């Protein structure tokens, strides 16, 4: 078969179960594609062909022995923020260029238990700080829809690998939009779960009260398969929640769009930087949902103007604390020939971290410093609570809230936005993390330059099944999620 990469994850599980192809064939197929096509996209930081083939053979043997689970033998790409035993984990940074983790992240370990085959590790903004994947020490990943554009970030490698059909699904992480925004820029489906649903153990920390891993794929159905693997309580993560997980695949038809109350926040559609095509496509998708029986309800989210300043205090504050562990002493990059300990610290950090990471460490350290702590950090925490309350109030009258995932489509590589311009692009995603809510991106069409546009649906706590189900219904009635970039049509 030459077109195994065209199959959905469900079709892969069916094909494997019916012995139409083996995991080795499927894995070799993807490895060939990566070898041929990824030079143009640069989505992978590390490809692990030998390991992948060994895992594929083990999966095939298990299947022959009758011990296979649904996903046994299906390949996956992991964002290079998840620690992988024996494989380099870089977080897109020079600081961790040679870091080999002695253990697997819980998400990776769960993938192994489910029988997933690791193709490799995919690129990202350095320490997940960014919206373009350009801040990676390993260079910019390209958007498969237009190679001179960014795939978004920080999970840009995951998105690009998927949009070029170089993996059937991928892990991502979302601290302020890093699953939803690259999914939007690359025409994919991506779910940011409720905070605490997916273990953060072994996921390199950016801002711990906001970080959450989640699935990225072409459809809600494919995301549901990966969510079944990723979700669940983990005693190794103190903020992981002890709450039963849903069967996200079995629940795909569990919600009907008919009668679903979708909140449309007035403030969101009047944001200054909202691109006219993005607005039009999102409105068309809402019209479609209305045709399917949803009830559109205008709502107020009065705290919208506070999102960016609040997030850009809290996230850097937590980052400055988390990243203090990279000091050149225990692991990671170490400056050469230090004259004393202070010189070792200073130069290891100045040479090992890129400019955006350094900027955030400085902002965060400032916001947490004795004289400014109350004025900045404490105040931001209070506003964070108000933002959360704003959402909870909205959920008293609606089931889900609709928004664009980003105000624009993908930027050009090297567009060189100022930090503040870049931060403003996060307006639609960051409040969800501040409130700890789940949200999903679904592709809903293209702009005038044929770049994908995404719709975001935000749900109440623990409503992952509902979000996946609503998008699944939408995807049964439309075909945006089946569109492929030209490069994905290339055969290896």
CB of 424 to ligand GLN, least distance (A): 11
DSSP 48-94: -HHHHHHHHHHHHHHHHTT---TTTT-EEEEETTB-BTTBB--TT-G
Backbone φ and ψ for 265, nearest 5 degrees, come out as -70, 120
Tell me the C-alpha distance between 315 and 325, whole Å.
16
| CB closest to ligand GLN, residue no | 178
Residue 182 near ligand GLN by CB under 6 A: no
Q: CA-based diameter of the chain, in Å?
A: 70
16 close to 74: Cβ distance less than 8 angstroms: yes
Q: List CB contacts of 209: < 8 A, sequence separation 6 or more.
A: 195, 239, 314, 318
The single residue of 22, 154, 155, 320 carrying the catalytic annotation is 154
Active-site residue flag, 121? no
| Chosen residue from 178, 194, 199, 219 binding ligand GLN by CB under 6 A | 178
3-state secondary structure of 119: strand
Residue 46 near ligand GLN by CB under 6 A: no
Give the position of tokens 């990671």: 332
Sign of CA dihedral 325, 157, 12, 73: negative
C-beta of 72 vs 132, nearer to ligand GLN: 132
Task: Using the rule CB under 6 A, give the single segment among 29-37, 57-65, 127-135, 322-330 that binds ligand GLN.
Answer: 127-135
CB of 125 to ligand GLN, least distance (A): 7
CB atoms within 10 A of CB 51: 16
| Chosen residue from 43, 118, 131, 136 binding ligand GLN by CB under 6 A | 131
C-beta of 176 vs 202, nearer to ligand GLN: 176
Tell me the C-alpha distance between 164 and 318, whole Å.
34
C-beta of 116 vs 431, nearer to ligand GLN: 431
Residue 154 near ligand GLN by CB under 6 A: yes
C-beta of 177 vs 265, nearer to ligand GLN: 177
Tell me the C-alpha distance between 365 and 321, whole Å.
8
Tell me the C-alpha distance between 393 and 216, whole Å.
29
Q: Using CB under 6 A, which residues numbered 186 to 215 contact ligand GLN?
A: 206
Tell me the C-alpha distance between 224 and 402, whole Å.
20
Task: Using the rule CB under 6 A, give the single segment among 128-136, 139-147, 275-283, 407-415 that binds ligand GLN.
Answer: 128-136
Q: Using CB under 6 A, which residues numbered 422 to 481 contact ligand GLN?
A: 426
How do 295-299 and 261-265 pair as beta strands? parallel
| Chosen residue from 15, 92, 130, 196 binding ligand GLN by CB under 6 A | 130
Closest CA to 67 of 17, 11, 110, 27: 17
| Chosen residue from 38, 104, 174, 390 binding ligand GLN by CB under 6 A | 174
Tell me the C-alpha distance between 403 and 454, whole Å.
9
C-beta of 224 vs 314, nearer to ligand GLN: 314
Q: Tell me how far CA of residue 432 lies from CA of 192, 376, 403, 426, in angstroms.
A: 9, 20, 11, 11
C-beta of 75 vs 177, nearer to ligand GLN: 177
Residue 322 near ligand GLN by CB under 6 A: no
3-state secondary structure of 113: helix
CB of 64 to ligand GLN, least distance (A): 41
CB of 274 to ligand GLN, least distance (A): 17
The single residue of 8, 23, 79, 192 carrying the catalytic annotation is 79
Active-site residue flag, 154? yes
3-state secondary structure of 253: coil
Residue 126 near ligand GLN by CB under 6 A: no
C-beta of 15 vs 407, nearer to ligand GLN: 407
C-beta of 47 vs 107, nearer to ligand GLN: 107
CB of 462 to ligand GLN, least distance (A): 20
What DSSP character marks residue 167? -
| Chosen residue from 75, 115, 151, 177 binding ligand GLN by CB under 6 A | 177
Q: Using CB under 6 A, which residues numbered 256 to 315 contact ligand GLN?
A: 315
452 close to 446: Cβ distance less than 8 angstroms: yes
Task: Using the rule CB under 6 A, give the single segment among 93-101, 171-179, 228-236, 346-354 that binds ligand GLN.
Answer: 171-179
Closest CA to 380 of 311, 436, 328: 311
Q: Using CB under 6 A, which residues numbered 393 to 412 contact ligand GLN?
A: none
C-beta of 178 vs 348, nearer to ligand GLN: 178
Active-site residue flag, 79? yes
Closest CA to 430 of 318, 316, 323, 310: 310
The single residue of 8, 136, 155, 178 carrying the catalytic annotation is 178
Task: Using the rule CB under 6 A, give the single segment among 126-134, 254-262, 328-336, 372-380 that binds ligand GLN.
Answer: 126-134
Tell me the C-alpha distance between 133 and 168, whole Å.
20
Tell me the C-alpha distance between 8 and 16, whole Å.
12
CB of 170 to ligand GLN, least distance (A): 15
| Chosen residue from 15, 75, 92, 176 binding ligand GLN by CB under 6 A | 176
3-state secondary structure of 35: helix
Backbone φ and ψ for 338, nearest 5 degrees, come out as -65, 145
Question: Which residues have a catalytic role annotated?
Answer: 79, 154, 178
> Interface residues with ligand GLN (CB under 6 A)?
128-131, 154, 174-178, 206, 315, 426
């Amino acid at each position: 078969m030459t077109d195994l990469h065209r199959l959905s994850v469900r079709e892969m599980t069916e094909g494997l179960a019916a012995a139409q192809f083996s995991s080795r064939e499927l894995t070799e197929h993807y490895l060939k594609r990566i070898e041929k096509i990824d030079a143009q996209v640069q989505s992978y930081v590390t490809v692990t062909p030998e390991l992948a083939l060994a895992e594929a053979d083990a999966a095939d043997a298990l299947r022959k022995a009758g011990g296979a689970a649904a996903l046994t033998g299906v390949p996956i790409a992991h964002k290079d923020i998840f620690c992988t035993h024996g494989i380099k984990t870089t977080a897109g940074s020079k600081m961790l260029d040679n870091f080999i983790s002695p253990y697997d992240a819980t998400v990776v370990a769960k993938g192994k238990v489910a029988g997933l085959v690791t193709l490799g590790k995919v690129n990202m903004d350095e320490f997940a700080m960014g919206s373009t994947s350009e801040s990676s020490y390993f260079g910019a990943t390209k958007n498969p829809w237009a190679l001179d554009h960014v795939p978004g970030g920080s999970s840009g490698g995951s998105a690009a690998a998927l949009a070029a059909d170089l993996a059937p699904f991928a892990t991502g992480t979302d601290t302020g939009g890093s699953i939803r925004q690259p999914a939007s820029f690359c025409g994919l489906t991506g779910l940011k779960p409720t905070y605490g649903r997916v273990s953060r153990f072994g996921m390199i920390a950016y801002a711990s009260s906001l970080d959450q891993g989640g699935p990225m794929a072409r459809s809600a159905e494919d995301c549901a398969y990966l969510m079944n693997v990723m979700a669940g309580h983990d005693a190794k993560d103190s903020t992981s929640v002890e709450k039963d997980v849903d069967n996200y695949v079995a629940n795909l038809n569990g919600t009907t769009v008919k009668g679903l109350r979708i909140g449309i926040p007035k403030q969101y559609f009047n944001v200054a930087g909202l691109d006219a095509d993005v607005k039009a496509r999102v409105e068309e998708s809402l019209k479609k949902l209305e045709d399917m029986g949803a009830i559109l309800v205008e709502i107020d989210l009065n705290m919208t103007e506070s999102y960016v300043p609040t997030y850009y205090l809290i996230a850097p504050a937590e980052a400055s604390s988390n990243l203090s562990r990279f000091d050149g002493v225990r692991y990671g990059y170490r400056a050469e020939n230090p004259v004393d300990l202070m010189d070792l610290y200073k130069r290891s950090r100045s040479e090992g971290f890129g400019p955006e990471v350094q900027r955030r460490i400085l902002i965060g350290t400032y916001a947490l410093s004795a004289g400014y702590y109350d004025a900045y950090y404490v105040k931001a925490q209070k506003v964070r609570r108000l933002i959360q309350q704003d959402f909870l109030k909205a959920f008293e009258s609606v089931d889900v809230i609709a928004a664009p995932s980003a105000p624009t489509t993908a930027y050009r590589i090297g567009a060189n936005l100022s930090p503040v311009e870049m931060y403003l692009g996060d307006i639609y995603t960051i409040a969800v993390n501040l409130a700890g809510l789940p949200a999903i991106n679904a592709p809903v069409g293209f702009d005038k330059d044929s770049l994908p546009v995404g719709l975001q649906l935000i749900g109440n706590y623990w409503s992952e099944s509902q979000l996946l189900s609503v998008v699944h219904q939408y995807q049964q009635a439309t075909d945006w999620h089946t569109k492929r970039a030209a490069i994905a049509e290339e055969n290896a």
